[in-house]
Amino acid sequence: MSGKFQPDTLAEAQDRFIAVWGQMGGAWGITRTMAEVHALLYVTGEPLCTDDVMDRLQISRGNASTSLRALLDWGVVSRTHKRGDRKEYFAAEQDVWTMFRSIVRERIKREVDPLLASMHEIRELTDPARRAAGLAVDERARVEAHNQRLDQLLEFLTTVERLGHRFVSPAGRGLQAAATLLASKAAG
């Protein structure tokens, strides 16, 4: 016993943060391990090499390599090197808003944009100019209601996509400020 101070309190806090962050990753469609690796790099604050990650998280080399690569692709982690050391080191982006901006950018690119493209294709299937000729009136009404539903969704998704782009763009600092303000207690 060494009095009030536990020498590994910091390590414990890190571990718990890693666990919680990993859990969250799972709920939002990225793998738990990938989120854990990110959490480790973020909470550590300094560059770690593959072996550091393997040892701390108790995962295989393959898994560590794959997760680090994925984090690089997302743009939330970058490579570094140490003088006189052949290994690669990895460091997480330390600014939370910048990190979040990267995540938004990638998710729009990977999920929203393809979804919008598909939705436009689907919408064209029932484009009245090309398809409605010769329909019975009730069928025509059904197609029109369908089109209204798709259009509503398309408009919504387009708004989301535009907001996202604006947030992500260099000028998007403004949106960050707006968000902070809108979320403040003052803005009633």
Partner DNA sequence: CATTTATTTCAGAATCTTCTGAAACATTTT
Partner DNA sequence: AAAATGTTTCAGAAGATTCTGAAATAAATG
Which of 3, 5, 8, 85 touches DNA by CB under 7 A? 85
By CB under 7 A, residue 62 contacts DNA: yes
Q: What 8-state DSSP symbol labels residue 135?
A: -
Q: Which is nearer to a second copy, 38 or 53 (CB)?
A: 38
Question: Which backbone phi and psi does 122 adopt, to 5 degrees?
Answer: -65, -40
Applying CB under 7 A, what is the total number of residues that bind DNA? Answer: 22
Asked if residues 65 and 90 have their Cβ atoms less than 8 Å apart, the reply is no
By CB under 8 A, residue 1 contacts a second copy: no
Contacts of 31 (CB under 8 A, 6+ apart): 25, 67
By CB under 7 A, residue 66 contacts DNA: yes
Stretch (H or E) spanning 88: strand 88-92
Which of 37, 42, 48, 67 touches a second copy by CB under 8 A? 42
Q: What 8-state DSSP symbol labels residue 134?
A: T
Q: Using CB distances below 5 to 8 A depending on partner kind, what does residue 129 bind out of DNA, a second copy, none?
A: none
Which of 62, 86, 170, 184 touches a second copy by CB under 8 A? 184
Asked if residues 77 and 35 have their Cβ atoms less than 8 Å apart, the reply is no
By CB under 7 A, residue 65 contacts DNA: yes
